[in-house]
Amino acid sequence: MKVLLAQSAGFCYGVERAVELTKKTAAESGCCVMLGDLIHNAHVVAELEALGVRKIAGPEDAPEGATVVLRSHGERRELVEELAARGLRCVSAACPNVLRIQTLVGQAEEDGRQVIIIGERNHPEIQGIASYCRHPLIFGGPEELAAWLAEDPTRRDLPITVAAQTTCIRELFETSIKILKKQCTNAKIFDTICNATRKRQSEAAEIAGRVDAMVVVGDPRSANTKHLTEICIERCPRVLQIEGADELSPDFFNGCSVAGLTAGASTPAGIIKEVYATMSEEIKNVESGEESFEELLNQSFKTLNTGEKVTGIVTAVGPTEVQVDVGAKQAAYIKASELSDDPNAKPEELLKVGDEIEAYIVRVNDIEGYAELSKKRLDTVKVWENIEQAVEDKTVMDGVVTEVNKGGVVVSVKGVRVFVPASQSGMPRGADLDTMVKSKVQLRITEVNRARRRVVGSIRSVADEARRAAQDEVWNSIEVGKRYTGTVKSMTAYGVFVDIGGVDGMVHISELSWSRIKTPSEVCKVGDSMEVYVISFDAEKRKISLGVKDRGVNPWEDFMSKYRVGDVATVRIVKLMTFGAFAEVVPGVDGLIHISQIADRRIEKPGDVLSEGQEVEAEIIAVDEEKKKISLSIRALLAPAAQDESEVEGE
């Protein structure tokens, strides 16, 4: 077994500069204090305090005449101004990259732009950067950013300037940028992730994908250390984050052939070397199989080993953790965050006292007598096993689309990322895949590489199979007159195509309405639900003719029941001809107004007086019941008035 050490592990340029500058200042100054922890590493802070650099909580705690060192993460603008107002000498140990971001966002807001920062809202670096703006917006990742844009569509036109925390996870930043580039019209994007951070994350991901166990060294408060751990967990089944070599246990390396080691940017080289040496020694002990007297003695007890599976009984359920009796001398518990992949799940909703539970042992502290377990990690292993089996069984699995990736989409299947190529997404070529995000889908797993944590799936194959099954069901049961509730899929000048359950049928324009219409869009649109019935079908040619008009309603009988010759009706002009105009009397029944019956004077064409869609009063002057024809007259209603006027003039 061997240990792979990341080349970029340990102090970055900014941290190393901050530590050396503080040591130099302490040597030159009679009284040197640091405002908060210089860096997120308790060992380094303790070393500086041993050199006489006292830590203070705020400007009010600084002694008169002291030199104040500002931490590597940068400081809030108002605190710097308060120190200056007191006349205290300040030495900034802030990373040059952080200072650059502070200047960048301040200038952007002066230029009238909305500043957006991608990072951890409560991290000192972010708080310092944000203090150089009046109205900054801080988003933890793409989900928060997308939600903000969706709240108000006008925000997409705002002049936006975007920067990132220097230790931001690259994938989070790049996904956020894709959203901005796609939706915003005036966004300036600055990739402010530190090059050292980028390299360290890339190396950690590469090594984690090649090893059986991964160790990340760093202070638990360190953002970049936490991000390294998150990246490693995605690629390696066994990950341990520690502060020093004393937290290592030989049991952690049981069954490992290759182990990896990386460290956060605030971890001193000395600690990394100590961990590396301890790992090498522990591995030798594991391989040699030597047992100490203490180990032989402890064999009489049930021991808990990191990385092993254990079964226990739930003894208490609290809001933040669950206590488990695993039959060992150590007390065992599971944090709420390690119970489920669902961040909103509550312990009391998942478990109750007396339940039997299986979990992984992630940490054993023999000194304090407790063991930390994780059900979530065990569930993940089981999911991987299920996914591998699903390839052989061609099982259909449920998932949620979480993001759009290059060339396709990513679907979360019980916490495992499954890549679905665009061609297998079930969407038409060139379609906007962003519309799939957050949607629930069914898919088949087509490829699994557990070592590389790579899973490929197909939504299309499931959708195609469901469509074929639905089509077969339709064709097996179709008959003339059968009614369906369908969905309008597309429209043409001569009719619409309606999906009646995986099969499209054609509704001719003449079958859409009893009224005369020019285009289908007058009565429906794509996506509308439509009640249809089968007029005819050809199973061999796979063609179906559908109707919408209610054949139980006879428009002519409706007309005859309402009107007689001599009645006046309000009619709608539906078509203009050279010889007259056709007008709808009731839906499905039209009458002709001859050109001679349109006005009380001679006109050249009907369009001189009438227009399509116009409603007018007309008298029914003739009805041919056999041929179902109606003659109408507007003139008949105008003639008496015209005659009265001529009589007045004669007098």
Query: Following DSSP, what letter does each residue of 413-424 receive, concatenated?
Result: ETTEEEEEEGGG
Q: Which two tokens stand for residue 563?
A: 């009107």
Query: Mean of the per-residue pLDDT values for the chain?
Result: 85
- CATH at residue 233: 3.40.1010.20
Q: Are residues 46 and 91 in the same domain?
A: yes
Provide the annotated active-site residues. 125
Structural domain count of the chain: 7
CA 89, distance to chain mean position in Å, is 48
Q: Are residues 92 and 24 in the same domain?
A: yes
In the block, residue with structure tokens 């300040």: 90
Q: Are residues 117 and 88 in the same domain?
A: no
Q: Are residues 185 and 213 in the same domain?
A: no
Q: Are residues 86 and 105 in the same domain?
A: no
Report if residue 470 sits inside a domain: no
Task: Give residue-wise pLDDT tens across range 66-78.
Answer: 899 998 888 999 9
Q: Are residues 568 and 614 in the same domain?
A: yes
- CATH at residue 330: 2.40.50.140
| Domain span holding position 330 | 309-374
Asked if pLDDT for residue 643 goes beyond 70, the answer is no
Q: Are residues 47 and 121 in the same domain?
A: no
Report if residue 102 sits inside a domain: yes
Separation CA 282–CA 3 (nearest Å): 11
Q: Closest Cα to residue 575, out of 516, 509, 508?
A: 516
> So what's the pLDDT on residue 644?
47
Mean pLDDT of 318-341: 83
Indicate the residue among 146, 170, 193 that finishes a domain.
193
Q: Are residues 282 and 316 in the same domain?
A: no
548-552, Cβ contacts within 8 angstroms, sequence gap of 24 or more: 548/507, 548/511, 548/512, 548/513, 549/511, 549/512, 549/513, 549/514, 549/588
> So what's the pLDDT on residue 292?
47
Task: Give residue-wise pLDDT tens across range 432-448.
Answer: 899 999 999 999 999 98
Report if residue 386 sits inside a domain: no
Q: Are residues 273 and 329 in the same domain?
A: no
> So what's the pLDDT on residue 646?
43
Q: What is the DSSP code (8-state) at residue 435?
A: G
Q: Are residues 318 and 267 in the same domain?
A: no
Query: Taking the CB of residue 559, how many other CB atoms lie within 10 A of it?
Result: 20
Indicate the residue among 502, 524, 547 that finishes a domain.
547
Q: Are residues 13 and 88 in the same domain?
A: yes
> So what's the pLDDT on residue 554?
74
Q: Are residues 92 and 7 in the same domain?
A: yes
Mean pLDDT of 149-173: 91
Count of H helices and E strands in the chain?
16, 32
Interacting residues of 503 by C-beta distance below 8 A, sequence separation 6+: 470, 471, 474, 475, 542, 544
Comparing 144 with 304, the larger pLDDT belongs to 144
Percent of the chain with pLDDT over 70: 93
Separation CA 507–CA 549 (nearest Å): 10
Q: Which two tokens stand for residue 619?
A: 């008298």
Indicate the residue among 500, 518, 547 that finishes a domain.
547
Asked if pLDDT for residue 51 goes beyond 70, the answer is yes
Q: Which two tokens stand for residue 602?
A: 């001679």
Lowest-pLDDT range of 201-210, 550-559, 585-594: 550-559
Q: Are 2 and 276 in contact (CB under 8 A)?
A: no
